[in-house]
Structure formats: structure tokens, C-alpha cells
A and B are shown apart, each in its own frame.
Chain A
């Protein structure tokens, strides 16, 4: 039940990972590629940031994991978002949208 106060980048990454998993279960590399995809190439997540984030989210109960088999028959660990994770995603996405709107308005104004 930890609601730690992470750095901004950490929080952003967590949010992106949760969003990446929102539709379906993915393995580690799959999450990285999906994040790249949904941010239109802006964010390329390296393994050094990805795995700590996945374990953090798992410890917090936002995702669960299991061993499975990938498309090309390789053994891989798959991650899936949990209901608690969906709630966290909704919450943080909402906060981000508000921040983004405010910034947009501030920067666009004369």
C-alpha cells in the first residue's frame, strides 16, 4: 500500500507503463516497445529504467506477473495491470491532463 513520492520522471514512467499495459498483457520488451509506440517515439525506455519500474509497480500491487511463452516461443515474464493499477492509471492520467492543459494555456497566452 505504499504511496511513495517518486521523482517526476519516475512517476511519468510508471504512468506510461500502466498505460502500455492497459489494453493487454505484455512481456518486458513488449512494454518498452509499446511505450515507444504510444509516445510516438519520444520515450525510449532502456532496461535500466524499465525493470526497476516494473518491480516497483508490482510491489505496489499495480501490476502482476507470470512466466509465459512469447510469440516466437521464448520463455518470458508477462505483466498484466490489476484493478488497483487501473485506478492508479485513471487517477494519475487525470492529474497529468489537468497539468498539461494548464501549461498549454499559460504558454499560449500573450
Chain B
């Protein structure tokens, strides 16, 4: 019976059920009437008789319930029997069952794991807050489209004026130094928040209290801090008496007033907060910002979000904010004139981070979906083979009276009996996938600290995927089962369709090969892209460098003391064996997020008020680094002209700078940069003495290996002191040098927090973590796909050999050699493989551009990739077909013919 008539049957059954209900109702009413008649005959009055009959019946609805329950029990019994039957039958073929279970577990587990990561990173709302869907982020956008932060006066104006919001809060995150229990230094992630922060989010304290409006008092007065749950566990062992104790942050003592609950880690996904301070503690916690920044309307440094009032919509909020923004633009044209304010739903990941990993996640989703598809195709093919060997059994059952629909249902149940346990196994795979996608990633990646909880959502996804997979793999065998009739079996004696090849199975295998090709080709493309990226000349030394970052803002170190520390560190490091040179810098390439400055020709600087607040739009934008002498030598950046910084460029001496070629070309096209002067206003626009260019360095990929060389502006660290800098060391054995350097620095002062100790190779790996992750995952999936495809081809050829036993034996008996028989069988399998390869190659050529776009910095693959991957696949498939072919050739023709 065809699928269409199956569906018609189901429809009819549903209609039938409604009719059956009505008939039951009629029947019960007639029973009641007959019973009433009986009682009347016995002498009761009609009314009394009816009442007595009703009582005796016990209630029409209750009887209906009983009948319905009875029906349900029967269905469940049937189901239970089908499940037992399926389990027994599968147990009889352990190899097949285990293969199928593992295959499906891989596919379902992979999909569940990747879903978990995407869910936690992009879909799930912020954890630990009340009604996260009512939270809205404020974004300030420059005309160029770049996102900017808010100033405190602006934030206060929005807060006062916005009626569509129940409350608005602001925060600014920063790194802080603290002393650990054993006296060492540690960096922690702090968030300076306004009084309404916790209230707006709806977070309640675990211990003590959270920050509130009262802590918004006089700047510097509120030295209180709230700890995050994980940090409290980690640093204080979960001490319940922590409230009231003092901790030191950046040299100042703060009192712990509370601990946040487990599950809340701040408002930035992927970057958990360790502790919260009041915004009024800015001068203590973020001293590098200018003194009056809390009152400075032009300084954009805080992030703002709010909770919509009950009943207000985001559209209304947007309209209201535009009005307020327009009013501010009119009142303060200089600082607020050109920016607009946007609202986005949710507080969580920054829009750029979200966009960044969006492409990566799409790639992973596509890859894992392909693997699941291949896995299902593989299993479906295996089940089809199994079905064809059981045709006789099934035909017998049909003859004994089982309906065709029963056989179909049994096929589907078999699929579920396979898929559901596979799904359970898949959860273990999912856990592994999640671990590899998050914890194993470098610390700088936004995925590293992602909390993926293996909870209800994931289980539901795994369950759904298992059910879908189970039905998907069972559909084809079920349809085939529906076509079995006892007659057809009698005709060919029940042997697996002798002489009739299964086109469906071949199509499945061809499809698998094609999909495997696509995955492997994409993997090859990614690997090639990665390799090119990492080996291309970067403009600086990519191997023989080691680095450690230090934070001297701890203990309130004055610049003089810090300078001494740096000089002494460099001296001791250069004395180490194996170290060629050492230096200090505020920015090591490739630096990911690099400081930028605006540069002007002397005399062309805008007035401070104009500059202030629009710094990112005016002048020439350049990457910035304050470096110690011998920096360029240490990092292998060629100094093309002029000189390096030296002892003479100390504090108080005339200000100097070194530029790279790109910057020179932009500021002084066609002229020699040496001797030119450049103006480099301070952060708040205050004018400074122009600097003289004394050297020109070569261009390099200072920001990222995937981006072209930016203009770079270097100044001496001695004239532009910064307590947070990185010590760099040039050595032929960077790993050893790194260990030595750590010791040297610890020896100089054990309290100084060190972090980010790495060799340049490791540092670069972190910089390209997205590309590495994409390549690694697609390769892994590609290998799984390849294995599955090979198994599929093997299966088809092996089955074909079994079917053609008689034919091949006759050939051999008539004189065909082993080699000829082998070739015959191999050719059959390879035809499938080649068609699959061609289809896959075609698909890949169509998709490669889209795939390359998903991951930054990857070039579109050329014909070389297609050929290489094709060859590799062809060889694998050849091996897969050769094994059964050999078996065929080794057959004894007499045995085979006799068996028939």
C-alpha cells in the first residue's frame, strides 16, 4: 500500500474515532432508556424509574471514561509489545545495532552540543536577572556607525527624562588588581555600577546587601564592594563571614558588603564579573580617567541599560529617547550634536561580539547538521538492508493476519528504539563537544567563559533530535515494509531482492559521499586559510618572542617607581642566557584591541571643547604604543630610517615619536617623515607640545593578522608612562625565556600581578582563535563524515556481493580470474563514489564563497583544493570497495552454487 493510502487510513481512523465517540454516547443513552423501561415495567413511576436507572448506570460520563481508559490501555499494551519485539530483534544483530547506536549518538550528540553553545552565547537571555526580556540596552552610535559609550551627565538626563522606563542604570567594567591570600597579585574583573544597577536587573543578594542608591553618594566616599558568587568561592573559599571584611583593590581598602547569588555574573556574556563597586568610587578604581570625568558631558565611558515600564513597548521607548536626544543635541551641540541613540533588546553580548561569533556559529551549525544528515542516511541504508533480509519473516506475519499498518508502525518504533538510547548516549558526546567549544578555547575568546548548562533545554533538544532522527531513519524502511506482500516473497523465496539493486540505497550512499566531500573541502579551505594567515610575513617576529604583562597600578605605585621597575626588569632580563634583547611596551602585536590616538599637524588641532567627545572622528587615527628602548629590535620590526628611542629621551627632554610608513604616507605624503612635527592632544583635548619624528618603522599587522597594516604611532615609555604594560623578550628559545622571565619579575617584586604570560606563538594562536576553532571543528566533522561515508560504501558493495554470489560464482566457474572479479565489484562501488564526488564537488564550488565569508580572513579555495580532496576521498572509497571485492574473489564457486 502506498504512502498516500496510509495517510488516508490515518485520516479515516481519526474521523472514525469521532464517530465511535458519538456511537458510544448513543449506545449509553439507549441503555439508559431500556433500563428505565425495565424499572417502569417493575412498577416504578416514570420519573423515579429514570432517576433509579441513572443511579444504577453510575453516570454516563464515567462509563465513557472507563471505555476510553480501556482503549488507551490496549494501545499502550500494543506499543509495549512492539518495543519489546524491536529490542529482541535488534539484539539478535549486535554489530548492526551497535554501529547504528554509535552513528546516531555522534550525530545527535554533536548537534545537541553545538546547540548548547549557540543557545548560551546567542539565544539565551542574561542569567540570574528578573524578566530579562524587559531589559533594553542603550547604544550611542557615531555617524560612522561605530558604537560609543555614554557620559555621566547624559545618562542622568536620560534617567530623569525617560518615562517609558521603570528604571535606568549604568556601569563601566575595568580590570583591578588585588592581593591574593598568599601575597601574590591577581587581576580581577570589576564593574563600577550606579545605584540602580541591581534593582533594575532584579537581582537579590545571597549574603549581606547589594549596592543601592545610597552608595551613589560623594565620589570616593563609598568604599564598598559586592563580590560575585564564583569569585567569592574561588578567592575566599565561600567563607560565610565575608561580609564586613576588607579587601584591597588597586591599593585602596574596600569593605565587602555582600555577595551576589549563584548564576549571576554581570551583564556581559562571556566575560564574567568578579566584583561590583559604586560608580562614585571611580577615582579610586579607575584613576587613569581624568579627574572630573563624572561631570564631563563629553566623556563617553559608561554603558547604559534600562528596564521597560510595565505596559511600555520598545517602540515607545525609542520614540521617547529620540526626543530626549534631540533636546540634548540642541542644548549641547558640541558634545551631543552628532550622535544618535539606539535601543536594542536584551542586555548581554556587545553587538560586535555577537556579529563576530555569529558567522562562526553558523558554520558550526551547518557542519553539524550535515554530519547528522549523513549519520541518518547511513543508518537508513543499514536498516533498509536489514529489512530486505527479513522480508520472509514479515511476509509470514502478514499472512498470519497482521495488518500492513502494524508492520509500518513496527518499523517506526524500531527507529525510535534505536534513536532514543542513541540520544541518551549522545548527551555524553554533547558534553564533550561543549567542553571543546568553550573551556578549551583561549581565555581571550568570548566563548571561553561561556556557561553552557546541561539542563532542561538541552535535554529537550536532544529528545527532539532523537525522535526526528528515529523517524527519519525509519521512514524509508517503513515505506518499503508497506509494500511487502506474502505473494512477492513466495516468488523469489524471500532472498534479499535477488537481481534487483536498490536504487534508494545507492542514492543514499552517493549522497553521503557528496556531503563528505563538501565538508572535507571546506575543512581544507579553512586549514589553508589559517596556514596562510599564520605564515604570511607579519612585519614582526612571530616565533622568538615571549611576553608577560604586569600591572603596576597596585599599591599605588608612582610613575617614578614604575619606571625604575621597568628599567631594572629589562636589565635583568637582558642578562639572562639565550635572551637577545628585552623591552617594554603598552601594546604587543597582534593586539586585538589596540589603543588609538588622533594625530594632527601642529596648528591644526581643533579646540579642546570640540575635540573632546568627538575624539574618534577627528584627525588621523593611528594605533598607539608607548615603548621602551630596543622595542623594535626585540620584536623584529625593522627601523627603516632614523633612530630608536634611547636614554636621552627621558622625562623632561623634548618629546619624540616614531611612526610607521603607513602613517608617514598619510600625514606627509611624498616627504620624509624624519624631522616632521606631529600634534598628539591629550585625552581631554588639552594641547601638548608637538612631538618630533625621529624614526620610521616598517608596516606590520599590528592589530590583527587578518587586517591590513594600520598606521602606527610609537612614543617613548619614559615620556608617556603607563603602569599597565607588557615586558617582551627576544630569544631563540621563547618557552625557556618565558619561564626565566617569570622568575625574574617575581624576584623583583612578588606583589606585582603578572598575567598573560605567553610566547608569541601562543599569543598569535589566541588572536586567530576563531579561525583555528572553525578549522578544527570542520576537520573533526569532516573525518566523521568520511568514516560514515566509507562505511556506507562498504555496506552497499558488501551487500551487492552477497546478492550477486550466484552470478559471480558462475563467472569464476567459467574461467574469470580473481582479478577480473575484483575489478567488477570495485567498479560497481567506485561508480557510486565517483558520482558522489562529482555531486559534492559541484555543491562545493557553489558554496565556497558563502563558506569563506563565514570566517574572517579565509581565501576562497581554488581547483587545487577540489582535486586534493577528491583524490583523498576517492582513495578512501577505493579501499572501502576493495575489501568486499577481495572477499568475492576468494569465494569458492562450488560452495556458492551448492548453497543456492
Contacts and interface: CB of A to CB of B under 8 A. Distances in A.
Contacts of B34: 27-29, 70, 72, 74, 76
Contacts of B33: 74
A4 B74 contact: yes
Contact of B67 (A52, A72, A75): A52
Nearest to B24: A51
A72 B30 contact: no
Q: 4 shortest A-B CB distances, which residue pairs?
A: A52-B70, A29-B34, A76-B30, A77-B27
Residue among A28, A48, A49, A56 with max Cβ neighbours from chain B (10 Å): A48
A1 interface: yes
Given A47-B58, A48-B58, A49-B66, A2 B77 contact: yes
B58 A28 contact: no
15 contacts: A1-B400, A2-B74, A4-B77, A29-B34, A29-B35, A29-B38, A48-B63, A51-B28, A51-B66, A52-B70, A70-B30, A76-B27, A77-B23, A77-B26, A77-B27
Given A27-B34, A48-B66, A49-B66, A59 B74 contact: yes
A53 B30 CA distance: 18
A47 B338 CA distance: 83
Interface of A: 1-2, 4, 27-29, 46-49, 51-52, 55-56, 59, 70, 72, 74-77
Given A1-B401, A51-B67, A55-B71, A29 B58 contact: no
B78 A47 contact: no
Contacts of A46: 56-58
A1 B74 CA distance: 12
A74 B37 contact: yes
Contact of A52 (B27, B66, B78): B66
Given A46-B56, A48-B58, A75 B30 contact: yes
A51 B33 CA distance: 16
Interface in B16-65: 23-24, 26-28, 30-31, 33-35, 37-38, 56-58, 62-63
Nearest to A29: B34
Contacts of A56: 70, 74
Contact of A47 (B26, B28, B37, B38): B28
A85 to B, nearest CB: 16
Contacts of B37: 72, 74
Contacts of A27: 30-31, 34
A1 B81 CA distance: 13
Contact of B402 (A1, A74, A76): A1
Residue among B27, B62, B402 with max Cβ neighbours from chain A (10 Å): B27
Given A27-B31, A46-B57, 16 more contacts: A28-B34, A47-B57, A47-B63, A48-B63, A51-B24, A51-B63, A51-B67, A55-B71, A56-B70, A70-B30, A74-B37, A75-B30, A76-B31, A77-B23, A77-B26, A77-B30
Contacts of A59: 71, 74
A95 B66 CA distance: 28
B58 A74 contact: no
A2 B34 CA distance: 32
Residue among B34, B37, B63 with max Cβ neighbours from chain A (10 Å): B34
B568 interface: no
B484 to A, nearest CB: 18
A70 B400 CA distance: 38
A52 B69 contact: yes
Contacts of A2: 74, 77-78
A61 B31 CA distance: 23
Contacts of B71: 55, 59
A70 to B, nearest CB: 6
Contacts of A1: 400-402
Nearest to A33: B38
A28 B27 contact: yes
A89 to B, nearest CB: 20
Nearest to A76: B30
Interface string B345-376: 00000000000000000000000000000000
Nearest to A75: B30
Contacts of B26: 75, 77
Contacts of B57: 46-47
B62 A55 contact: no
Contacts of B63: 47-48, 51
B402 A48 contact: no
B68 to A, nearest CB: 9
Interface in B769-828: none
Contacts of B77: 2, 4
A48 B69 CA distance: 11
B29 to A, nearest CB: 9
Contact of A48 (B23, B24, B62, B74): B62
A4 B401 CA distance: 16
A55 B21 CA distance: 12
B19 to A, nearest CB: 12
Nearest to A55: B67
Interface string B753-768: 0000000000000000
Interface string B460-481: 0000000000000000000000
B74 A47 contact: no
B433 to A, nearest CB: 44
A70 B28 CA distance: 14
B26 to A, nearest CB: 8
Contacts of B69: 52
Contacts of A76: 27, 30-31, 34
Contacts of A51: 24, 27-28, 63, 66-67
Nearest to A30: B34
A47 B31 contact: yes
Nearest to B37: A72
A99 B67 CA distance: 30
A4 B33 CA distance: 33
Contacts of B401: 1
